[in-house]
Amino acid sequence: MLVVHHLNNSRSQRVLWLLEELGAPYEVKRYERDAKTMLAPPELLAIHPLGKSPVITDGDKTIAETGAIIEYILDTYGEGRLIPAAGTPERLRFTYWLHYAEGSAMTPLLLKLVFTALPARAPGLLKGLVKTIAAKAQSGFVDPQLKSHIDYWNAELSKSEWFAGPEFTAADVIMSFPLEAAVSRAGAGSRPKVKAFLDRIHARPAYRAALQRGGEYAYAD
């Protein structure tokens, strides 16, 4: 039985959603972030040496990294669903978004998270200095980068309803988290096509079912 080692408020929510879309059988083992650090608990180290989520186990196989997990699930349980046919323009777009989501898209979002959190964690005498440095890093680099990505998403979703083309695919599943996080951290909800995309996915029965299985998820609305 495939087991999703699921961390609350994390990228592993997409794995649950994909499995619900496919109707594939799976179990959920939940882990909770540390309330102070928001890091994953040490118990995840027993599953994978990096102690990160998402990670799945399926029999004797352990697979980490969202893109690799999605490819494995599609290959093993997909039966050709939620992936465009090989050799088509849609398949090329699918492959691009599968890698872009965890590569280019997540980097500025993680930097935004780090620089936002830094001032509160700085020692008392350094708080003012750290706050100034963090603000300059955000305004001078992080925020312009995020704006470029958000504008890019909005433009691409103006060309087709879904990221890989006219049909919903697993590319939309993996792209959901960057867009959801950008609404929370960078005001991406002001872009009409981004908002419309999120409204569509949030209304999908499989998405709602995955929330029931996964529990707390701050980016669902």
Residue pLDDT, tens place only, 157-174: 999 999 999 999 999 999
Residue 7 lies in a domain: yes
Contact 108, 142 (CB under 8 A): yes
**Total number of domains in the chain:** 2
Cα–Cα dist 166/98, whole Å: 16
pLDDT at residue 34, as a whole number = 78
Residue 125 lies in a domain: yes
pLDDT above 70 (res 197): yes
| 108 and 38 in a common domain | no
CATH assignment of the domain containing 161: 1.20.1050.10
| 129 and 62 in a common domain | no
Mean pLDDT of 12-41: 91
Residue pLDDT, tens place only, 56-111: 999 999 999 999 999 999 999 999 999 999 999 999 999 999 999 999 999 999 99
Cα–Cα dist 101/153, whole Å: 11
Mean pLDDT of 142-157: 98
pLDDT at residue 178, as a whole number = 97
pLDDT at residue 36, as a whole number = 74
What is the residue-averaged pLDDT of the chain? 94
pLDDT at residue 125, as a whole number = 84
pLDDT at residue 220, as a whole number = 67
CATH assignment of the domain containing 14: 3.40.30.10
Residue pLDDT, tens place only, 30-41: 998 877 777 788
pTM of the model: 0.94
| 117 and 40 in a common domain | no
Residue 184, domain extent: 89-204
Find how far residue 62's CA is from the centre of its chain: 20
Residue 221 lies in a domain: no
| 114 and 185 in a common domain | yes
Name the percent of the chain lying above pLDDT 90. Answer: 83
| 62 and 150 in a common domain | no
| 179 and 96 in a common domain | yes
| 148 and 47 in a common domain | no
Cα–Cα dist 168/191, whole Å: 20
What's the angle, vertex CA 105, arms to CA 32 and CA 217, rounded to 5?
Answer: 25
Of 162, 154, 180, 170, give the one whose Cα is nearest residue 206. 170
| 104 and 76 in a common domain | no
